[in-house]
Structure 1
Amino acid sequence: MSALSELQHHLTRYWALPYHEDTELQSKLVEVQAWQRARLQRTHSDLFEQPKNKPMADYFLTQLYGGGEFKLLAEQLERILPKAKKLERLAKETVLETGSMAIQAAILAIELDMHLAQWLVSKDLPVDEKNMLAAYQAVDESDERRVQINNLKDVCYRTDKYLNSFVLKKVFAMAKSTAYSHNYQPMYDFIDAGFKAMKPLDSVTGFIEPFCKREMKIIDQVHAAGSNGKTATFGVS
């Protein structure tokens, strides 16, 4: 399956998520996502606040963890994908595959948070640390959360690989004006945002490995026996 076909599959799955047609669920999802971003900022404050890491942290929080910006991207891509076959000739297939993987990672994050939101709606509970812990444990998607974290890692390492390829960088840069003129700006900009976020990093390893290690530890803590009601499980030492 080509990268664009994969992307169409991901977008079809995204638009099938029930929150698009359920205003109460959508509102709760927005609250859950805001809580998640605040939690990520708190958990990784030492990592995110390093000047060289700030663009990457912003990319994670605005592009890879859903929100209004992702919905706009999805709407734009949905319009242009049926006639976007030329895009595969404007950029390397491997680059498009990475962009598709990043979008898949963003959709999975939205889907998993939507499941938390559904549980909170069913219990008529507000979004706070205690209720989020209860939702995590009730929904019990620890394996899926681990897949989410590993997907983010894969996207980062693949993007870093292409960023460090002189040939791919040149090909991608040369494709910009053509991509824009053919109205393929959303996909180009999404991939380019990942490149720009990583550019200041000395090594993507120094960002993504501690990020993933902490997130995996939190998943283990949240789903460990005896952690019921202990909101400190969202912290790391």
Structure 2
Amino acid sequence: MYRERLTDTEVRSESARRLQQLLLDYHDFRHAKAGHRLLESTHDIAGWQASRLKLTHQDLYQQPAYQAGLQFLLTDLYAPASMTRRDDNIDRVFPKMVKWLPDHLLETLSGLVELNLITQQLDLELAERLDERDIQASFLTTEQYCKAYRASQKLEQRKKQVMLVADVGQQLDRYVRNRTLGWLLSMSRTPAEMANLSDLHDFLHRGYSAFRKMDKVDLLIDRLVAREQRVMENIINGHPEPFTLPDDL
């Protein structure tokens, strides 16, 4: 709907240009995916992976200081549910973003958009691998998931996906330490609602609130990355229990 906003906006920096291209790629993918015959399968896969992530990192979820932050990292960023309105609104306000936001924030937004794009591309590819084997995503087992995962043509993207979670998480942590950002989010709630941007505002405020409650975010992210890299290795190597990790991870 808002593709012309992206194409018609003049950008003056490499950061703005990168964000513009990623938003165009993401916009086109979302609209192609919306009409794909395996759309429901991608939703089932996203839900399956979100549950798996929560189970793998259950010990961290049980720590009150980490619950909200992990929910944001692993649900909003790593295994996002439908965010159509939020994504459309990002397209809609792109001209204002590149005009008012500094390059370092545009880079963080670029990382977020790229992460969402890669995640949804991987979910669709996995749905296609399952479909080739006549496996219903709604009744997915660990063994079936791992077989489809190993048949993937995008293993390098899966590695990049994990590192993008780390990069975006670390950048968000730096920003939430700025008290001005919290004040701005609080003051902008009513204008956001009036501009029909409440879903985008809620997403930003949820991330801000979650990260403000956490200490030593860098250690948490390092642990998440190490665990997910081990899970990936286990799956690729055909480990019989790929999601069972040693106590020191």
4+ runs of 1 displaced by more than 6 Å? Answer: none
Q: 1:108 aligns with which of 103, 107, 118?
A: 118
SS at match of 2:214: coil
- Contact 1:66/1:107, CA 8 A, preserved across alignment: no
1:28 aligns with 2:32: no
Number of residue-to-residue matches in the alignment: 228
What 5-or-longer segments of structure 1 have no aligned partner?
A: none
The alpha-carbon distance between structure 1 residues 213 and 108, as it changes in their structure 2 partners (threshold 3 A), is same
Q: Cα offset for 1:190?
A: 3.2
CA shift digits 1:2-28 (9 cap, x unpaired): 6555444333323433432123x1111
Q: 1:49 aligns with which of 57, 62, 78?
A: 62
Q: TM-score, normalised by structure 1?
A: 0.83
CA shift digits 1:167-204 (9 cap, x unpaired): 55556666656555555555444333322111110121
The alpha-carbon distance between structure 1 residues 38 and 47, as it changes in their structure 2 partners (threshold 3 A), is same
Q: TM-score, normalised by structure 2?
A: 0.79
The alpha-carbon distance between structure 1 residues 87 and 179, as it changes in their structure 2 partners (threshold 3 A), is farther
Q: 1:75 aligns with which of 85, 88, 93?
A: 88
Matches of 1:22 and 1:203 in 2, distance apart?
41
Match of 1:98 in 2: 108
Match of 1:117 in 2: 127
Match of 1:212 in 2: 225
Q: Cα offset for 1:138?
A: 0.7
SS at match of 1:115: helix
The alpha-carbon distance between structure 1 residues 211 and 142, as it changes in their structure 2 partners (threshold 3 A), is same
SS at match of 2:51: helix
1:160 aligns with 2:173: yes
SS at match of 1:232: coil
Identity %: 23
Q: 1:62 aligns with which of 75, 84, 93?
A: 75
Matches of 1:49 and 1:112 in 2, distance apart?
29
